[in-house]
């Protein structure tokens, strides 16, 4: 695996470091910060909302180091599916990878649907008369276009992604520059009373909500891990692409957040009738450089939003393929396109779920949708993967690890604390929505589905427990060496 030629008829390793970092950054800095800055301000109740982006960056970096070690050691298609399969096979057979795929088929495309919701939201700035039905139809067309563009070879997709990454950088830089030309330190750094009262439960509820929004904005640093079988020299490229993308986006987000708060009064962002609550970046450009500039940058933001959905479905569609190939998901998902070698059914299914999620998001609250999606993801992916790293160090000490987590196990503990904070405060931040209960119900339903599937396939617990240590037995790449960043 690690850099060796792919099996005949499988994926082709054609994505290098620049393209891999661009894929991650395009997914991370999509429409997210442009629609969540007002949500972050509302969560904290003032410009101290910048705390949420800093906390999200620290959690992303700690969790990113978990992904870096696992991805470099096991660079297969599917990301978390591969890692959970290897770590938990000794006690629970195929249960954990099955549950991950069961959950990922929901949360990955639904997260992409929030990007489409943001796309339509910003499109409303250019077309203020657009009604609810028209917006719904536009969003559905965007999902269809993304699937159509992904219906091709990975070498073409890599070039398209590089162009979209450049547009994303330009749009963000223009907003930051515009904010700098009319920046008011008084607006950005004048905080309401008791803004930093750490003994108040109100602060910590707001912090947990802000951390949830923050990590949502950083999600995507792991996109290339889902494409491990298509990355050149993955032992070196995967860790670097993860760390580089997190550090780059962290700098961009801080400049964007502080610059926006220095131009737009934060009270405007909490007023549903104000354009700053739905299209805050456009509001910044309109106030600083005028309506024409605002319209131009809004178009670039729309391209950025499209790019995030594009790269998210690109990586996510690989998850059910690897599971089906290993007999842990429905077998039709193991089929690749005969010419372009991409998983057809996985892409089509996630496209459909994204469309459904978009319609749900359009008719509910975006902040609540983010909370629900994040809570579902925490149990089966985030927490389980932190545990998987330690399990594999114990169970497979001889596994080839081109990159080993810095300061292990400190980043694992930081990631664990962050994810538990998000999960523990979920119900308080979404009163009446019960995200914890819904997440537990979804996992419980997945366990029932696993029992039914295992009975039909005659695997554990209805058959012998099988273990597969193909990565442990695989030879290292000839040019492999420790990977750092």
* Tens-place pLDDT, residues 103-135: 988 888 888 899 899 999 899 999 988 888 999
pLDDT tens sequence across 264-278? 999 999 998 888 888
Arithmetic mean of pLDDT, 441-453: 91
Burial of 8 (0-12, 13-18, 19+ CB in 10 A): exposed
Beta-bridge partner residues of 451: none
pLDDT at 104: 86
Q: What does the radius of gyration of the chain's CA atoms come to, in whole angstroms?
A: 22
Rounded distance, CA 155 to CA 476, Å? 25
Arithmetic mean of pLDDT, 405-419: 95
What is the pLDDT confidence band of residue 481, given thresholds at 50, 70 and 90? very low
Contact yes or no for 398/336 (Cβ under 8 A): no
Which residue, among 296, 295, 302, 264, has the nearest Cα to 280 in the 3D structure?
Answer: 264
Arithmetic mean of pLDDT, 329-353: 82
Q: What are phi and psi of 181, to 5 degrees?
A: -75, -20
Contact yes or no for 122/175 (Cβ under 8 A): no
What is the pLDDT confidence band of residue 6, given thresholds at 50, 70 and 90? very low
Rounded distance, CA 206 to CA 321, Å? 39
Confidence check: pLDDT of 473 > 70? no
What is the pLDDT confidence band of residue 317, given thresholds at 50, 70 and 90? confident
Confidence check: pLDDT of 161 > 80? no
pLDDT at 153: 58
CA pseudo-torsion sign 134, 140, 142, 144: negative
Arithmetic mean of pLDDT, 215-226: 87
Q: Token digits for 451? A: 């029992």
pLDDT at 256: 92
pLDDT at 3: 34
The three-point CA angle 426-96-368 to 5° equals 20
Confidence check: pLDDT of 200 > 90? no
Confidence check: pLDDT of 8 > 80? no
Arithmetic mean of pLDDT, 446-452: 91
pLDDT at 5: 37
Contact yes or no for 340/153 (Cβ under 8 A): yes
Beta-bridge partner residues of 336: 343
pLDDT at 484: 39
**239-253, 273-287, 402-416, 469-483: which range is least confident on average?**
469-483
Arithmetic mean of pLDDT, 216-226: 87
H-state helical runs in 331-404: 344-362, 366-377, 384-395
More confident residue, 190 or 475: 190
Arithmetic mean of pLDDT, 54-77: 92
pLDDT at 411: 96
The pTM of the full predicted model, rounded to 2 decimals, is 0.84
First to last CA, the chain: 22
Confidence check: pLDDT of 376 > 80? yes
Q: What 3-state DSSP class applies to 154?
A: helix
Which residue, among 212, 213, 237, 216, has the nearest Cα to 225 in the 3D structure?
Answer: 237
pLDDT at 1: 31
Rounded distance, CA 124 to CA 168, Å? 19
pLDDT at 174: 92
CA pseudo-torsion sign 106, 112, 115, 120: negative
Instruction: Look at the block and give the residue holding tokens 């909302």.
Output: 49
What is the pLDDT confidence band of residue 306, given thresholds at 50, 70 and 90? confident
Confidence check: pLDDT of 96 > 50? yes
Give the start-to-end residue ranges of the domains of the chain.
17-435
Arithmetic mean of pLDDT, 63-92: 88
Q: Which residues contact 408 (CB under 8 A, 6 or more apart)?
A: none
Q: Token digits for 29? A: 């800095």
Q: What 3-state DSSP class applies to 293?
A: helix
Confidence check: pLDDT of 172 > 90? no
Rounded distance, CA 99 to CA 81, Å? 9
Confidence check: pLDDT of 477 > 70? no
Confidence check: pLDDT of 246 > 50? yes
pLDDT at 78: 67
Confidence check: pLDDT of 483 > 50? no
User: DSSP letter string over 109-125?
Assistant: HHHHHHHHHHHHHHHHH
Arithmetic mean of pLDDT, 407-420: 96
pLDDT at 355: 93
CATH fold of 17-435: Amino acid/polyamine transporter I (1.20.1740)
pLDDT at 327: 79
More confident residue, 450 or 466: 450
Average pLDDT over the chain, rounded to an integer: 86
């Amino acid at each position: 695996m690690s850099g060796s030629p792919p099996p005949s008829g499988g994926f082709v390793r054609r994505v290098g470091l620049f393209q891999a970092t661009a894929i991650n950054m395009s997914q991370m800095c999509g429409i997210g910060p442009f629609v969540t800055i007002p949500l972050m301000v509302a969560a904290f109740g003032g410009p101290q909302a910048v705390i949420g982006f800093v906390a999200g960056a620290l959690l992303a970096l700690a969790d990113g180091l978990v992904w870096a070690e696992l991805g470099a050691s096991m660079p297969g298609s599917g990301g978390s599916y591969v890692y959970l399969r290897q770590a938990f096979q000794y006690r629970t057979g195929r249960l954990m990878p099955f549950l991950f795929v069961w959950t990922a088929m929901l949360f990955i495309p639904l997260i992409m649907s929030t990007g489409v919701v943001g796309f339509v939201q910003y499109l409303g700035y250019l077309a203020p008369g657009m009604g609810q039905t028209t917006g719904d139809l536009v969003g559905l067309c965007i999902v269809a276009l993304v699937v159509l563009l992904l219906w091709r070879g990975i070498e073409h997709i890599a070039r398209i992604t590089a162009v979209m990454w450049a547009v994303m950088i330009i749009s963000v830089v223009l907003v930051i520059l515009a904010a700098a030309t009319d920046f008011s330190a008084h607006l950005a750094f004048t905080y309401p009373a008791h803004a930093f009262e750490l003994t108040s439960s109100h602060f910590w509820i707001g912090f947990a909500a802000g951390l949830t929004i923050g990590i949502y904005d950083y999600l995507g640093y792991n996109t290339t891990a889902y494409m491990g079988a298509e990355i050149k020299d993955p032992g070196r490229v995967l860790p670097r692409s993860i760390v580089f993308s997190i550090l780059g986006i962290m700098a961009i987000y801080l400049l964007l957040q502080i610059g926006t708060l220095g131009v737009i009064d934060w009270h405007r962002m909490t007023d549903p009738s104000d354009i700053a609550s739905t299209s805050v970046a456009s509001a910044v450009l309109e106030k600083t450089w005028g309506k024409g500039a605002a319209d131009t940058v809004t178009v670039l933001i729309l391209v950025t939003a499209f790019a995030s959905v594009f790269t998210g479905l690109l990586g996510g569609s690989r998850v059910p393929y690897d599971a089906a190939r290993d007999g842990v998901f429905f077998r039709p998902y193991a089929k690749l396109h005969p010419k372009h070698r991409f998983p057809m059914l996985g892409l089509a299914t996630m496209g459909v779920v994204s469309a459904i999620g978009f319609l749900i998001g359009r008719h509910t609250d975006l902040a609540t949708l983010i909370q629900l999606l994040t809570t579902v993801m925490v149990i089966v992916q985030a927490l389980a993967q932190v545990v998987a790293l330690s399990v594999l160090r114990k169970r497979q000490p001889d596994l080839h690890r081109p990159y080993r987590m810095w300061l292990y196990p400190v980043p694992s503990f930081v990631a664990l604390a962050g994810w538990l904070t998000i999960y523990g405060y979920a119900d308080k931040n979404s009163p009446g929505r019960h995200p914890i209960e819904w997440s537990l119900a979804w996992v419980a339903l997945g366990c029932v589905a696993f029992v039914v599937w295992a009975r039909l396939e005659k695997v554990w617990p209805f058959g012998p427990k099988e273990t597969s240590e193909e990565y442990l037995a695989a030879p290292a790449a000839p040019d492999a060496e420790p990977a750092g960043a």
